[in-house]
């Protein structure tokens, strides 16, 4: 097979999309025409979901109805809760647990086996169920593994606040709820990243929405994709435990040939715009708590890596300290990424179904040819 080899499909155009635009040189991210800074400041996660799924921002009446529908789907069937308890007892990793639980959710969705997997209206109903229940299954699993009971959802709270309520058993204050809502908005979509492409490949076979989201979760679990935010926080804790100056710790790590988590991106050549927004939130949380340690440590590392390596931080770098200051366990960072990105995965799958073609690339064969087949006695 002739043609230029594109390792990792870098720079290869495989589809057209109206969902998100990234300018890596300018550090710009756009959802359906709206700049991410504006959405992070002014839009709720529910509004962003509606925008991604419908291509336009909702009116006040549409937003109220949409939010109510999502809230009504949050509670979990007893069978799903039983699976969550078993996974917690087996000490399954959070991402593996989330993958299994989303797959299990399909057994309790009356539309899961609908014959036409491309039917948009049916898929929108599935989408609401999946997106509403993913925070619930994650919170349930997290509580079960620490020996706590399931907290039923509160339909009076929005998507972000309800997750924190179900996770911790108490309603979050306004600052925490708004910060988490902003984090969900920032992670909702990001072009054809690896997990989104995985969901599209699955749906291109005319597999169903649950299968596509489950595929995406498996892809996001890798350390080169969603696992980076947890690695950033583990690094910051190692720096703190060492009692070393952050820049000296990083210099030693680089001298040992280690990679500093949270820097560089396949798309951005400048600072990730989401990192700018979350950096400001991390600073605000530190000021509110009277402890600027994690923010100041992060800034020192960012400045050093920028000067020495010419690399800028990505979204994972500041989401780590933001989540940590909110009291969220480190191994839940990547599952929370999935909880948010589910909205974007679903939006891309809906687009894929609208004009579907099986995604089937080819590989250049580099093995041998023309070998004579030996009998088993001759091998």
Along the 379 residues of the chain, how does pLDDT read in single tens digits?
557 777 778 778 889 999 999 998 898 999 999 999 999 999 999 999 999 999 999 999 999 999 999 999 999 999 999 999 999 999 999 999 999 999 999 999 988 888 899 999 999 999 999 999 999 999 999 999 999 999 999 999 999 999 999 999 999 999 999 999 999 999 999 999 999 999 999 999 999 999 999 999 999 998 878 878 888 999 999 999 998 999 999 999 999 988 888 887 778 778 889 989 999 989 999 898 888 999 999 999 999 999 988 888 888 888 888 999 888 999 999 999 999 999 999 999 999 999 999 999 888 899 999 999 999 999 9
At 378 the pLDDT is 94
At 112 the pLDDT is 81
Domains 29-223+330-354 and 228-326 share a fold: no
Exposure of 248 in the CB half-sphere (CA atoms within 13 A): 5
Structural domain spans, the chain:
29-223+330-354, 228-326
pTM of the model: 0.93
At 356 the pLDDT is 95
Q: Strand, coil or helix: what is 25?
A: coil
At 269 the pLDDT is 73
What's the CA gap between 312 and 40, in Å, rounded? 21
In contact, 91 and 179? CB cutoff 8 Å: no
Three-class SS of 152-199: CCCCCCCHHHHHHHHHHCCCCCHHHHHHHHHHHHHHCCCCCCHHHHHH
Give me 313's structure tokens.
């931080």
Q: What single DSSP character describes residue 263?
A: B
Cross-strand partners of 305: none
Backbone angles phi, psi at 191, to 5 degrees: 60, -150
Average pLDDT, the chain: 93
- Say which of 73, 265, 272, 348 is annotated catalytic: 265
Please name which of 29, 37, 144 lies closest in space to residue 80, comparing C-alpha atoms. 144
At 1 the pLDDT is 54
265 is catalytic: yes
CATH class of 228-326: mainly alpha
- The CATH fold assigned to 29-223+330-354 is Citrate Synthase; domain 1 (1.10.580)
- Say which of 109, 189, 208, 316 is annotated catalytic: 316
348 is catalytic: no
């Amino acid at each position: 097979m002739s043609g230029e080899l594109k390792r990792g499909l870098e720079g290869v155009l495989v589809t057209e999309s109206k969902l998100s635009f990234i300018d890596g040189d300018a550090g710009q991210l756009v959802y359906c025409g709206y700049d991410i800074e504006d959405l992070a400041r002014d839009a709720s996660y529910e509004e962003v979901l509606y925008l991604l799924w419908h291509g336009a921002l909702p009116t006040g009446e549409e937003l109220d109805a949409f939010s109510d529908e999502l809230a009504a789907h949050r509670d979990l069937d007893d069978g799903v809760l039983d699976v969550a308890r078993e996974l917690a007892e087996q000490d399954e990793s959070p991402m593996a647990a989330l993958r299994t639980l989303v797959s299990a959710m399909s057994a309790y969705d009356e539309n899961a086996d609908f014959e036409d997997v491309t039917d948009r209206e049916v898929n929108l109903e599935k989408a609401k169920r999946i997106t509403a229940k993913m925070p619930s299954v994650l919170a349930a699993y997290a509580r079960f593994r620490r020996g706590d009971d399931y907290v039923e959802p509160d339909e009076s709270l929005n998507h972000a606040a309800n997750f924190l309520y179900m996770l911790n058993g108490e309603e979050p204050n306004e600052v925490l709820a708004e910060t988490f809502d902003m984090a969900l908005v920032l992670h909702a979509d990001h072009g054809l990243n690896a997990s989104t492409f995985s969901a599209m490949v699955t749906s291109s076979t005319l597999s169903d929405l649950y299968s596509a989201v489950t595929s995406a979760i498996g892809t996001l679990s890798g350390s080169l994709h969603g696992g980076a935010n947890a690695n950033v926080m583990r690094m910051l804790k190692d720096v703190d435990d060492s009692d070393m100056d952050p820049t000296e710790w990083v210099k030693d790590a680089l001298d040992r040939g280690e990679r500093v988590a949270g820097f560089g991106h396949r798309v951005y050549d400048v600072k990730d715009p989401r990192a700018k927004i979350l950096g400001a939130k991390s600073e605000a949380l530190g000021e509110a708590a009277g402890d600027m340690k994690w923010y100041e440590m992060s800034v020192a590392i960012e400045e050093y890596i920028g000067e020495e390596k010419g690399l800028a931080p990505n979204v994972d770098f500041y989401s780590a300290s933001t989540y940590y200051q909110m009291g969220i366990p480190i191994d839940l960072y990547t599952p929370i990424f999935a909880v948010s990105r589910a909205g974007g995965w679903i939006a891309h799958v809906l687009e894929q179904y609208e004009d579907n073609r099986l995604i089937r690339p080819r590989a250049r064969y580099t093995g041998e040819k023309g070998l004579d087949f030996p009998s088993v006695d001759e091998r």
